[in-house]
């Protein structure tokens, strides 16, 4: 190898020696082992030219077209186009998967953040009071189309009235006994409470007594006014 060879020239010499080993020395060695005499039918190859000028893409393409097996370059070009199309398709699919995964991960992180923020606050501050839940249930029963639910709504509302009087400190064996102890000065809606309680007694003690849906809602409205006076069913 010449000592003044440039890098492209050195690379050419390496390729030339590899070709000599692969196509001349190795077959000759195998033939010698088999007992025959190798026949040198090849024309001595000249060393590859030294490349001293920059090589362009067009030069590489022209070289492949001129030195490859007929049709090999066209097949390579066709296969390369197929490879590019498949690669782009797979890249788009993987990119879509990555975008979806990142978006979903962000959504999960947001949900976790909201969850832990909610857990940091008192549960009682977010839940409705039990009395309000009971009152909502009574309203649902009063607005239903079943007469039996209307009776239950008034009976349950009257039980809540008894609990209110207990909290206000009035004592007695019956609800009527406790209501008689209430001064009107401290209980502005006591007359409404009496009217609602009498309707309850008729429902509880008079067989076959029925109220129209309008009357049921009116009686429930009386209880509502009583409870709101003392903040018993706060919003």
On whether the CB atoms of residues 84 and 42 are closer than 8 A, the answer is no
Condensed to tens digits (0 to 9), the pLDDT of residues 83-116 reads 778 888 998 999 999 999 999 888 888 887 776 6
> What would the two tokens of residue 184 be?
């009107």
Sign (positive or negative) of CA dihedral 172, 178, 182, 186: positive
Cα–Cα dist 122/203, whole Å? 41
Percent of the residues in the chain that have a pLDDT greater than 70, as a whole number: 59
pLDDT at residue 125, as a whole number: 42
Instruction: Read off the pLDDT of each residue in 201-224 and give the average, rounded to a whole number.
Output: 91
Condensed to tens digits (0 to 9), the pLDDT of residues 137-182 reads 999 999 998 889 999 999 999 999 999 998 888 888 899 999 999 8
Residue 39 has φ and ψ, to the nearest 5°, of -105, 125
On whether the CB atoms of residues 232 and 159 are closer than 8 A, the answer is no
Cα–Cα dist 97/221, whole Å? 58
> What would the two tokens of residue 50 be?
């030294």
pLDDT at residue 4, as a whole number: 43
pLDDT at residue 7, as a whole number: 41
pLDDT at residue 201, as a whole number: 92
On whether the CB atoms of residues 51 and 12 are closer than 8 A, the answer is yes
Closest CA to 227 of 167, 161, 178, 177: 161
Closest CA to 28 of 19, 18, 39, 17: 39
> What would the two tokens of residue 95 be?
């990119």
Q: Model-level pTM?
A: 0.46
Nearest-5° Cα angle at 36, 30 to 40: 80
Find tokens 């309680």 and name the residue: 197
Q: Alpha carbon of 152 to those of 123, 226, 233: distances in Å?
A: 30, 19, 19
48 burial level (CB within 10 Å; 0-12, 13-18, 19+): middle
Closest CA to 7 of 52, 48, 45: 52
């Amino acid at each position: 190898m010449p000592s003044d060879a440039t890098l492209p020239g050195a690379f050419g010499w390496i390729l030339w020696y590899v070709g000599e080993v692969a196509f001349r020395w190795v077959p000759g060695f195998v033939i010698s082992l088999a007992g025959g005499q190798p026949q040198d039918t090849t024309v001595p190859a000249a060393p590859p030219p030294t490349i001293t000028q920059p090589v362009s893409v067009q030069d590489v393409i022209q070289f492949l077209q001129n030195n490859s097996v007929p049709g090999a370059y066209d097949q390579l070009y066709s296969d390369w186009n197929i490879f590019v199309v498949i690669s782009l398709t797979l890249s788009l699919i993987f990119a879509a998967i990555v975008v979806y995964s990142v978006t979903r991960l962000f959504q999960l992180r947001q949900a976790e953040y909201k969850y832990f923020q909610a857990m940091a606050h008192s549960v009682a501050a977010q839940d409705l009071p039990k009395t309000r839940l009971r009152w909502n249930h009574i309203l649902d029963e009063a607005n239903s189309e079943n007469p039996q639910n209307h009776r239950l709504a008034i009976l349950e509302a009257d039980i809540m009235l008894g609990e209110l009087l207990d909290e206000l400190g009035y004592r007695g064996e019956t609800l009527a006994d406790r209501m008689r102890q209430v001064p009107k000065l401290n209980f502005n809606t006591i007359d409404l409470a009496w009217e609602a309680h009498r309707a309850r007694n008729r429902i509880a003690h008079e067989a076959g007594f029925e109220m129209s849906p309008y009357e049921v809602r009116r009686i429930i409205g009386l209880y509502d006014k009583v409870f709101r006076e003392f903040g018993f069913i706060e919003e």
